[in-house]
A and B are shown apart, each in its own frame.
Chain A
Amino acid sequence: MSLADVAAALMFLGVVAYAILGGADFGSGVWDLLAGGPREGAHLRSQIDRSIGPVWEANHVWLIYVLVFLWTAFPTAFGAIMTTLFIPWLLVGLGIVLRGGAFAFRKFSGSVREAQLHGAVFAASSVVTPFFLGMIAGAVASGRVPADGSGDVWDSWTGPTSWVGGALAVLTVAFLAATFLAADAERGGDHALAGEIGTKAFWSGLVTGAVALVAALAIELDAETLADGLHTRGLVFVIGSAVAGLATLVLLRQRRWAIARLTAVGAVGAIVVGWGVAQYDWLLVDELTIADAAGARATLIGLIIVFAVAAVTAVPALIWLFVLVNQDEWSTTDH
């Protein structure tokens, strides 16, 4: 494995972490959108607030992590992705600003009306953002981002793989979030709410699986290099994801929310890793390899050292945060 491969693997680790942790936060917003009026949605919205309130900013940093790794280790690829995919990135940025701002504003709104407005912005942007991130992933994975950034500003990210990527992203985060929320509600002692969200998790899991099959077909037809990779060294991850996904559905039926959350993470993590493994050693599929995109050697070494520093500083802190929020006293309301 070369230095560039190591840097790419570390960067992709951020993609996986963001898909799971950031994904669960976005997905919570999807359920917020579907929670109905203020009265019937009150319990679910409060649960969402408790579940993602303490963690969303930390989970969000994974996106910054990926971007910084990309421009530091693979500067030309960063330039190319940002130039060709200007429009979807702009929409993602817009979604991120509106979502973060509105989430904080809603918590401290003075009236129900105000909270409804902020809540609607938060929830809607929680759908929009993963959708366009999925489209971006589809564009890269189907080989539509040229190394010099000269791709068409519309066609590059509106191919079949992008559409299924966007749809799958929204469904996946919704499924993941529902398993997280069900486990959190159960721990907070609200069994009725856990059951309610658990049912949502089950059905969204089923739909996600069905759409994944459609996505597989689209990838076969539209993204040859990725499809080849998924048949060969990516296959084990695809199978792993399918097995974990099915196991999650069974566990959800048995109302075993805490374990179902783990298998759901496994299912999502496996398919994201599978994507990365399948498109190796392309950074921009069919256009730019990891080796060709790599920046200066001294910087790659520096970046790996920075990662090691992060592993001994930020990771223990992150673990402490997750341990805290999973304690009983953190699962109940403030007041």
Chain B
Amino acid sequence: MMILAADELLAARYQMALSLGFHIVLSCFGVAFPAMIYVLHRRGIRNDDPEALALAKKWGKAAAVLFAVGAVSGTILSFEMGLLWPGLMSTYGDVIGLPFALEGIAFFLEAIFIGIYLYGWGRLRPEVHLRTLIPIMASGLFGTFCILTVNAWMNAPAGFTLLPDGTVTDVDPIAAMFNDALWQQFTHMYVATFIVAGFLTASVYAVGMLRGRRDRSHRLGFTVPFAFAAVAALVQPFVGHVAGMRLDTDQPSKLAAMELATETEDNAPVVIGGVLIDGEVRGGIEIPKLASLLAGNSFDTVITGLDDIPADEQPPVNIVHWSFQIMIAAGTTMAAIGIWWWWRRRRATEPGGEFDSPWFLRATVLAGVLSVVALEAGWITTEVGRQPWIVYGVMRTEDAVTSNSGVWISLAVMVVVYTSMAVVGSRVLLGMARRWREDDSLDLPTPYGPSGVLQSDARDPEAVG
């Protein structure tokens, strides 16, 4: 029975990881993409720039697809809170529910104004239409804040008293929201959304430019998101550093795993690479004293080692260590690509002329991939690093998981559905891009509508059977 229960726990964790790992990429677009559309749209109407306006309209249509999938994958997460983790929600639902309710408002505003924006072309006055993007951006910011309060609370629980008999009392939902980890985690994630949406979008245009499509529209589509991402990628290392600084006191087990610290010590080294096998670090390069310096801005900072953390309170060390290092490596590379761009831009005499280097465009494509890698790796670091706790130091994940035995089946279903969604969604987006290239018309006639059916009637009578 014990083994069965452990298996169900694993299935539940995989399912949550899959759904969150999928949703987190889409939510980056939901939060950051509207700002990029805003820049183009504003330029389009203020500078009378039809190319910028056309790009804004295209991005709006692409956003419609991404946001729709984001909205429904977000809904699944709210189901899973109860389906997979009833123990967490039954016990702490009223402690951490309030930010979810506030996030509901953000979600409402986002969904309402997205509907208005997407269908507002030609129906609203241009200035009013442009301004409908502002509440979308604001609710992206606020929604990120609300969700991160909850995640930060799981790392730094506050706002309640746990009695010895297991009951929760003295609930203070405001204190729970404004816990010690909130601001660092929120800023880190918010900046990340711009890196991901920016580099991914820029990389699409970089591919187009590498294939010889170097018209102004491609340059615009490249430059705007790239600029957002480049700024964010340069800020992020500092934000991340601050986010990590609370760990030595608040979450020593997570820090020990991230740094592969086997013994408690000051002047602790950073270990690059390396794996922990039977309690010993194999391989890896040590940089003396750096971990202490990074954790507390001083060589004297003591980093708790795994030897001082009970075995049943340690996270899966190697996963946390490697995902942390992958995040750092990817983040550093992206920051370097950002610096490269700023440097080239400063030296360029002719605006726009500096992006023709194929190597730079290839680097941007790489940055697009790395942005997602860094996002997922960073998220794995914080989530897996919190294990075995679902609420750090208070509730174990195994005590929160559902008693249902069907989790492996639901996991299998989710894998199939999410894989198909990813494949089909990419196909649809690529198809949209192809049709835009082939035809100057911005509108994509719906094939199932009267005009679409008539068109395909003429071309391909077979298809209408």
Contacts and interface: CB of A to CB of B under 8 A. Distances in A.
Interface of A: 37-39, 41-43, 45-46, 49, 53-58, 60-61, 63-65, 67-69, 71-76, 78-83, 86-87, 89-90, 92-94, 96-101, 103-116, 118-119, 149, 153, 295-300, 302-303, 306-307, 309-310, 313-314, 317-318, 320-321, 324-325, 327, 329-330, 333-335
B76 A93 contact: yes
Given A49-B446, A106-B448, A83 B86 contact: yes
A111 B427 CA distance: 12
Nearest to A332: B123
B87 interface: yes
Given A76-B90, A78-B89, A97 B97 contact: no
B98 A82 contact: no
Contacts of B424: 101, 105, 118
A37 B464 contact: yes
A79 B171 contact: no
Nearest to B96: A72
A276 B120 CA distance: 38
B302 interface: no
Interface string B336-375: 0000000000000000000000000000000000000000
Given A97-B73, A306-B105, A58 B68 contact: no
A295 B448 contact: no
Given A57-B115, A58-B111, A108-B65, A302 B445 contact: no
Interface stretch (B35-43, B232-240, B250-258, B399-407): B399-407
B31 to A, nearest CB: 16
B290 to A, nearest CB: 43
B59 to A, nearest CB: 13
A56 B443 CA distance: 21
Interface string B94-130: 1101101111110111011111101111111000000
A75 B402 contact: no
The interface residues of chain A, by DSSP majority, are classed as: helix
B10 interface: no
Given A86-B406, A105-B424, A295-B97, A97 B446 contact: no
B78 interface: yes
B65 A104 contact: yes
B432 A97 contact: no
A310 B101 CA distance: 9
A100 B72 contact: yes
A313 B417 CA distance: 35
A53 B75 contact: no
The 6 closest A-B pairs by CB, nearest first: A72-B97, A75-B93, A295-B94, A82-B82, A79-B90, A296-B171
Contacts of B76: 93, 96-97
A89 B447 CA distance: 33
A39 B333 CA distance: 53
A68 B100 contact: yes
Contacts of A329: 123
Contact of A39 (B75, B79, B435, B453): B453
Contacts, number: 293
A79 B123 contact: no
Contacts of A87: 406
A136 B370 CA distance: 43
A79 B82 contact: yes
Contact of B112 (A109, A115, A317, A330): A317
A36 to B, nearest CB: 12
Nearest to B107: A61
Contacts of A108: 61, 64-65, 428, 431-432, 444, 446
A105 B97 contact: no
Contact of A299 (B82, B95, B123): B95
Given A89-B83, A90-B83, A96-B76, A75 B92 contact: yes
A74 B89 CA distance: 10
A78 B104 contact: no
Given A75-B97, A108-B428, A100 B417 contact: no
B463 interface: yes
A296 to B, nearest CB: 3
Contacts of A75: 89-94, 97
Contacts of B464: 37-39, 112
A330 B123 contact: yes
Given A58-B111, A93-B76, A302-B174, A111 B406 contact: no
21 contacts: A37-B465, A38-B464, A39-B464, A54-B116, A57-B67, A58-B108, A64-B78, A67-B78, A69-B101, A73-B94, A78-B86, A78-B89, A79-B90, A80-B90, A82-B89, A108-B61, A109-B428, A109-B447, A149-B403, A306-B98, A321-B112
Given A57-B67, A75-B97, A82 B463 contact: no
A299 B94 contact: yes
A23 B19 CA distance: 26
B212 interface: no
Contact of B453 (A38, A82, A98, A302): A38
Contacts of A104: 64-65, 68-69, 428
B440 to A, nearest CB: 13
A335 B104 CA distance: 34
A276 B465 CA distance: 48
B81 interface: yes
Nearest to B91: A75
Nearest to A14: B104
Contacts of A56: 115
B425 A299 contact: no
Contacts of B432: 108, 110
Contacts of B61: 108
Contacts of A63: 75
A137 B307 CA distance: 52
Contacts of A74: 93
A302 B173 contact: yes
A320 B93 contact: no
Given A54-B118, A119-B448, A153-B404, A303 B98 contact: yes
Contacts of A46: 446, 448-450
B452 interface: yes
B104 A65 contact: yes
B100 A110 contact: no
A298 B90 contact: no
Nearest to A67: B78
A116 B72 CA distance: 21
B93 A324 contact: no
Contact of B90 (A39, A78, A106): A78
Contacts of B67: 57
Contacts of B45: none
A119 B452 CA distance: 14
